[in-house]
Amino acid sequence: GAGVSQSPSNKVTEKGKDVELRCDPISGHTALYWYRQSLGQGLEFLIYFQGNSAPDKSGLPSDRFSAERTGGSVSTLTIQRTQQEDSAVYLCASSLEVTQYFGPGTRLTVL
């Protein structure tokens, strides 16, 4: 596609359930990033991929969070046993070199 796409656009879940968020980067972009944006806050870096490997996982807030990328393309961010504090917008970005291009985000609400 022309831009970064994310699905679902909105996700409402119950506390304790697992969720999967998907990101489709711009075709050919080798790097992929996940960020979290809580209400009224800036961007919190979570993880980035270069190809299928994740050189920097330093931003993952707990071991309930994990991410994978397959085929150098699609990435999935998984949150296990969701908590209310996980409620946020999760943004994905991709890049070929320095400039990152963002998707529209997935709004996650944990009840």
Segment near another protein (CB under 8 A); pick from 12-20, 24-32, 63-71, 75-83: 24-32
- Site for another protein, residues 36 to 55, rule: CB under 8 A: 41-43, 45, 48-50, 55
Cα three-residue angle 84-87-92, rounded to 5 degrees: 150
Is the CB of 52 or the CB of 80 nearer to another protein? 52
Is the CB of 80 or the CB of 107 nearer to another protein? 107
Q: Are 35 and 46 in contact (CB under 8 A)?
A: yes
- Minimal CA–CA distance to 109: which of 8, 3, 1, 5? 8
Task: Copy the structure tokens of residue 59.
Answer: 């931003």
- Minimal CA–CA distance to 93: which of 25, 44, 36, 37? 25
Smallest separation, CB 81 to another protein (Å)? 27
Residue of 24, 25, 33, 82 that binds another protein (CB under 8 A): 33
Left (φ > 0), alpha (ψ -120 to 50) or beta: where does 63 sit?
alpha
Segment near another protein (CB under 8 A); pick from 14-22, 68-76, 80-88, 95-103: 95-103
Q: Rounded to whole angstroms, how far apart are CA atoms 11 and 109?
A: 6
Under the rule (CB under 8 A), what is the footprint of another protein? 4, 30-33, 35, 41-43, 45, 48-50, 55-56, 58-59, 91, 93, 95, 97-105
